[in-house]
Chain A
């Protein structure tokens, strides 16, 4: 089955700097890659996703890039703010199938 690895496990950045979280996947058939943000005590919330027919997608300060050849995808957060502090999970799946989640990255934005 699919195996998703996520790095780093923890990340601290100064407010205003950029943060990058990287994930790799093993199954070349995976074609859908969502990112979730989970604040302490809350449910995971979808923040951005990308399908395999697209190389990059942006939504304001958040962007995701996908390299199908290398089987990796990354989350980029620019101009970080304290409210970006949370745990971020990547996932990989084939549309219509179960999600395989990464191990999570705890992001701390230092004011």
Chain B
């Protein structure tokens, strides 16, 4: 498996601002993903973070709203831009350590937008 940390663990933001979430892994991993989980709901994939290139976004998610960086094989950031109360949610990163392995999740970032 992999040890995954996320910063911040929680934040309260004003609408119209942005929040950048960091995901750090203790070893190089092949794949990194960003998910959103709204209260009582399932996991919704936002995008696959690609090392050294633009992220691959799922339907309904766009780069302008959710810019993602992955400068190397152990680190990624997700920015949630122009925040609105509807963005209040838990954001989780996940990783696949090596090809053929399962996904492991970070502890999540709980975001509240006022």
Contact = CB atoms under 8 A, between A and B. Distances in A.
Given A43-B92, A98-B33, A34 B102 contact: yes
Interface stretch (A12-20, A55-63, A64-72, A101-109): A101-109
23 contacts: A32-B102, A34-B102, A34-B103, A43-B92, A43-B105, A44-B43, A45-B105, A46-B102, A46-B104, A89-B42, A89-B43, A95-B99, A95-B100, A96-B96, A96-B99, A96-B100, A98-B45, A99-B103, A101-B42, A101-B43, A103-B41, A103-B42, A104-B41
B100 A43 contact: no
A98 B102 CA distance: 10
Interface centre among B99, B104, B105, B107 (most CB of A within 10 A): B105
A91 B107 CA distance: 19
Nearest to B93: A43
B48 A43 contact: no
A45 B92 CA distance: 12
Contacts, number: 38
Interface residues on A, range: 10 to 19
Interface in B92-114: 92, 96, 99-100, 102-108
Interface in A39-58: 42-46, 49
A2 to B, nearest CB: 11
A87 to B, nearest CB: 9
A49 B102 contact: yes
Nearest to B4: A43
Given A43-B106, A43-B107, 17 more contacts: A34-B102, A34-B103, A42-B107, A43-B92, A43-B105, A43-B108, A46-B103, A49-B102, A89-B43, A96-B31, A96-B100, A99-B45, A101-B42, A102-B42, A103-B41, A103-B42, A104-B42
B106 to A, nearest CB: 6
A73 B99 CA distance: 23
